Amino acid sequence: MGFSLIAAAAILGFTVFMAAEIITSDVLPTIETINDSYGDMKDRLHDQLQTDINISVVSRSVNGANYDYNISVQNTGSVTLYTEDFMILINGTGYAFTCSHRYLHPENTVYFRVADVAGAEAKRIKVISNNGIADYYAYIS
């Protein structure tokens, strides 16, 4: 009876040791990854709270049968924005654009140019920054 008790204790001890090894090797990296993602989410939220843009001026010029739009956007927040990650929607449709600068620093203005937009009717322009903050402008000719 003494040997079987020692063998059972050894088997249980080995099993507990293996379970602890599996838990620490699989669960701890997952917890660390979750912690990193919470940190990233906190940084994104902070950037969103500190971001604000303003479409100050929109002008339109004739380009054959279509129109080119020049859009002035000012950064009224305190975060530097990367302009290549912006989106410009005109009446809900995304358009390719060129920008005067690569970065939009706080209290500065950049100029976006959207070429070959069809139609002369009123346009609703939406500029979306790289972290989701947007501004609207209604252009009525």
**Domain ranges for the chain:** 1-49, 52-139
In whole angstroms, give the CA distance from residue 74 to residue 111. Answer: 9
Closest CA to 104 of 48, 53, 68: 53
Would you state the structure tokens that stand for residue 74, as one six-digit string? 């000012």
- How high is the pLDDT of residue 2? 64
Cα separation of 85 and 32, whole Å? Answer: 29
Distance CA 105, CA 81 (A): 6
For residue 81, is pLDDT > 70?
yes
**Domain 52-139 listed as CATH 2.130.10.10:** no
Length of the chain: 141
For the record, the structure tokens of 13 come out as 């001890």
pLDDT for residue 53: 95
User: For 2-30, what is each residue's pLDDT tens digit?
Assistant: 667 788 888 888 888 888 888 888 887 88
Residue 101 pLDDT greater than 90, yes or no:
yes
The pLDDT confidence band at residue 97, using thresholds 50, 70 and 90, is very high
- Residue 1 confidence (pLDDT) above 70: no
